[in-house]
Structure 1
Amino acid sequence: MYKKRNTLISTLLLIMMLILASCSNAQNENNSSANNSNVNKTNIASINYNGKTYISLKDAFKATGGNVSIKGNNVTTTKDTDVIKLSTNNTTAYLNSSKISMSDLPKVKNKDVYVPMDFLTDILDAKITYSDGKVSLLEEVPLKYTKAFKIQYLKGGFKKITDGNNKVIILAPKGKAVPNIYKNNTIINYPTSNILVSSSTEAALLRPLDEIKSIKAVNLKEAEWEINDIKSGLKDNKITYVGDTTSPDYEKISSLKPDLAILYGGNYGLNNMMKKFDELKIPYVADNEYLEEDPLGRLEWIKFLAAFYDKEDIAEKYFNSEVSKVKAIENKISSQKKTKVAFGMVDNGKVYVPAKDSYAAKMIALAGGDYVFKDLNTKSGYITLENFYAKAKDADVLIYSSSKEYTPSIKSVLNEAPVLKDTKPVKYKKVWCLGSDYYQATDKTSELIEDLSSIFHPESFKGYKQKHYSHY
């Protein structure tokens, strides 16, 4: 029993070290897409003819930095090195001398030329959609809280993905021939429907996309999952356990022929698996949400995963909804006095605590807490028990970053560190631990923060029941 408990604790400590590690420099060096200049452009004219939508060439090319010249029936558009020529009385156009067929003749209105929307998608590096009378044009996916990946739209429905390891992948629509200019890149066909996930946080972000069903292989056993659809899938053999990430069964993985493996990279990443997957020609991407220092940055990786399912619109809507909920929580407790919060876990005389700029520390702040280790300079992830006690003894709340599976009671906490008996949170029974699904609730960021806020400010959340934390 003791050996089993040590193994469980070691596993949890590894998870904590991964998540609490401060990795801001690595994140910021990857990409600079958080401040997108290519935001959603909607002031583009359109007309409807016989139930079909046509888009203004002038507006579309102006929005993307191109030019349009109209001389009689002949139209020439230019953008960067591309030259597109077409005629208003012909459905054949030319992109750099290559023929492109239009689904219908262009329409002329007010000295402008309107073309079918699908044709515009074929000639512009952009995603064009039409809804409620408005045209939406995106050159890349807008990001607000992360700089660690990038998604750019290319002609013909292709996408250029720069993942967490700065690797470039071209996403190709299934059934569409890949142009020669992309063939030296890693090509992944989308939408994907047979994937391997290496961590539970990645799986959680697939839940709002309704794509848990696409998971066919995992690196966690059934007992380690809190997501019911995955537990039942493993039980019914619809999902295959392919070994843990330290010793995966490569033969089994190869036999499953996944469309995509979602791995995590960075300094703590699955670099050995990636090397082996390169040898086996198994397509993979680096999903590095665990390195994010902002909880909303972690959540924003849902947009990265969505690109592989062509569900960016669903991801954007869900993400914006979560951001609004978090802002509402902040506003709700903005006038309240901040609660002093200690956060950490004891093992063998050391205490693992979140770094001052970690996502956990940020969640405490968003929830109206004053993190007592906010001035701590260590980035190692641990401090001495003496240092922990010095700060925690006068805290209002202690969040013990274990779960009841590993640390079932306050007695088990005090067995590890008897000195904590004299701290204010223990005396006044203000000690909480992580719920069993805590690390599988990345998609429920607003709930995680609301739970914390209800613990810090119970007077403002009367009758509220925490979902992802447990009281000792």
Structure 2
Amino acid sequence: MRGRKKAFVLLLMGLLWLYGCSSPSLDSEVMTDIEEESGFDIGEELVYERSMELQYAENFKVDYYEGGYTMLTITMDGTQFLIVPQNGDVPLTLDKEVVVLERPIKDIYLVASSVMDIFSELNGLDSITFSGQKEEGWFIEAAREEMNKGNILYAGKYSKPDYELLVSNHCALAIENMMISHSPEVVEKLESFGIPVMIDYSSYESHPLGRVEWVKLYGALLGKEEEAERIFTDQAAILERVSASERTDKTVAFFFITSNGMVQVRQSSDYVPKMIELAGGNYIFQNLGDPETKRSTMNIQVEEFYASAKDADFLIYNSSIDGGVSNVEELLDKCELLADFKAVENGNVWCTTNDMYQQSLAIGYFIEDIHAMIQGENDDMNYLYHLDNVRRTSNDVSP
């Protein structure tokens, strides 16, 4: 069911509620118009059956209704999406703010890059027709292949969508990440073209497995709940295995050197410090940042980073922005002061792989990597690699 038809359904149903129900003949005429113009039949009200059980995720919920209807609710912004079974009726009593999507869900414009891994693992790439990332920007091999075949088209980044391409090819849904908050006019324009917008708030989950549990939301969207449950269970099992180990007092700093010489670190309330804790370590910054802001990162001066992290047992360099470094020498080229850090002197410097942030379903494996790093079990890592070739000494480097 195309986006413009869905918008027309909601508009006409809204007019029906506006006029009220005092005139049976008017109601009948309006309902006939809705059915003829939209292709939807108008059914009875939804009858609730059950809700999806969630262990960690707090920012969405899924409710099931008789007849194969599924309601997705994004609790952060209150948006709701009713998934109607193929050739099913649209309930007459549906709230006018609810977005109606009919199975099979197709022609999605996927901008939230972390969600591509989920669709790939759910074997749901055939639901995606448009990408907010170019082919060379994907580390998800299946996504690159689909774009190379022309099955997924580049439709512009989040702030500059190719509206003509999206509309002419009947885009049914745009899935955005939190970057879209910087371009609210894009949401307004997409919706004006009848393209509903779903925002992925998985990065706002307080527990790392809360982020992984969003696989259940997309599983419900695609009708692949069993596959989603299996994927989540596999990641939860890794956490259970790692958490069974004894905790250590080892400290870890996770950081990135910006182009202007600042140090980008994670707020203490972010999911990365939580992963370090779950892996048996301690994030070096215990009370950094304001958890109410919901921001993941903040920039601090090199001198502040030096004072707080100089004696950290491990350093992990975040490669997500600049592609990372291949050895300690390259890292010291970015910041000379690091030469005096305990972790550098002891050879305990690591870097994330470039694909870590697109591999949203790999959080369990990343926690396992951090655990192995802390325990000195450095073989067979997934998303961390050790930085070798320390050629410099401190030489009295000081802040």
| TM-score bucket of the superposed structures, by smaller chain | 0.7 to 0.9
Secondary structure at the counterpart of residue 267 of structure 2: coil
Equivalent-residue separation in structure 2 for 1:406 and 1:447 (angstroms):
19
Residue 294 in structure 1 maps to residue 294 in structure 2: no
Letter in 2 for 1:205: I
Equivalent-residue separation in structure 2 for 1:123 and 1:372 (angstroms):
51
Structure 1 residues 307 and 191: alpha-carbon distance in aligned structure 2, compared to 1, 3 A threshold: farther
Picking from 134, 142, 151, the partner of 1:229 is 142
Picking from 115, 125, 137, the partner of 1:202 is 115
Structure 1 residues 277 and 268: alpha-carbon distance in aligned structure 2, compared to 1, 3 A threshold: closer
Match of 2:174 in 1: 261
Match of 1:430 in 2: 348
**Aligned-pair distance for 1:205?**
1.7
**Aligned-pair distance for 1:194?**
2.6
**Aligned-pair distance for 1:294?**
1.6
**Aligned-pair distance for 1:308?**
1.2
My pick for the range that moved more, 302-311 or 153-162, is 153-162
Picking from 44, 48, 54, the partner of 1:125 is 48
Structure 1 residues 386 and 466: alpha-carbon distance in aligned structure 2, compared to 1, 3 A threshold: same
Question: Is the Cα contact below 8 Å between 1:189 and 1:259 reproduced in 2?
Answer: no
Q: Give 1:456-467 correspondences, 5 Å limit.
A: 456-458=374-376, 461=377, 464-467=379-382
Residue 178 in structure 1 maps to residue 80 in structure 2: no
Equivalent-residue separation in structure 2 for 1:436 and 1:218 (angstroms):
19
Q: Return the structure number with greater strand share.
A: 1
Match of 1:353 in 2: 265
Question: What is the aligned-residue identity percentage?
Answer: 29
Equivalent-residue separation in structure 2 for 1:123 and 1:277 (angstroms):
28
Letter in 1 for 2:79: K
Structure 2 residues without counterparts, runs of 5 or longer: 1-44, 292-296, 388-399
**Aligned-pair distance for 1:207?**
2.8
Picking from 452, 455, 458, the partner of 2:373 is 455
Picking from 363, 368, 376, the partner of 2:288 is 376
**Aligned-pair distance for 1:155?**
2.6
**Aligned-pair distance for 1:282?**
1.0
Q: Deviations along 1:416-435, whole A, 9 cap, x unmatched?
A: 21111110111122111110
Equivalent-residue separation in structure 2 for 1:123 and 1:405 (angstroms):
49
**Aligned-pair distance for 1:125?**
1.5
Q: What count of residue pairs does the alignment treat as equivalent?
A: 334
Q: Deviations along 1:212-233, whole A, 9 cap, x unmatched?
A: 2322211111111011111111
Equivalent-residue separation in structure 2 for 1:266 and 1:151 (angstroms):
24
Equivalent-residue separation in structure 2 for 1:349 and 1:340 (angstroms):
24
Letter in 2 for 1:125: Y
Equivalent-residue separation in structure 1 for 2:279 and 2:304 (angstroms):
25
Match of 2:238 in 1: 325
Letter in 2 for 1:229: A
Equivalent-residue separation in structure 2 for 1:360 and 1:329 (angstroms):
16
**Aligned-pair distance for 1:252?**
1.0
**Aligned-pair distance for 1:151?**
1.2
Q: Deviations along 1:48-89, whole A, 9 cap, x unmatched?
A: xxxxxxxxxxxxxxxxxxxxxxxxxxxxxxxxxxxxxxxxxx
Equivalent-residue separation in structure 1 for 2:139 and 2:52 (angstroms):
31
Equivalent-residue separation in structure 2 for 1:448 and 1:386 (angstroms):
29
Equivalent-residue separation in structure 1 for 2:330 and 2:221 (angstroms):
44
Match of 1:240 in 2: 153
**Aligned-pair distance for 1:245?**
1.2
TM-score under structure 1 length normalisation = 0.67
Match of 1:72 in 2: none
Question: Is the Cα contact below 8 Å between 1:218 and 1:242 reproduced in 2?
Answer: yes
Structure 1 residues 314 and 467: alpha-carbon distance in aligned structure 2, compared to 1, 3 A threshold: same
Q: Deviations along 1:330-381, whole A, 9 cap, x unmatched?
A: 11x22x5232111111222311111111100000001111111123245661
Equivalent-residue separation in structure 2 for 1:257 and 1:434 (angstroms):
38
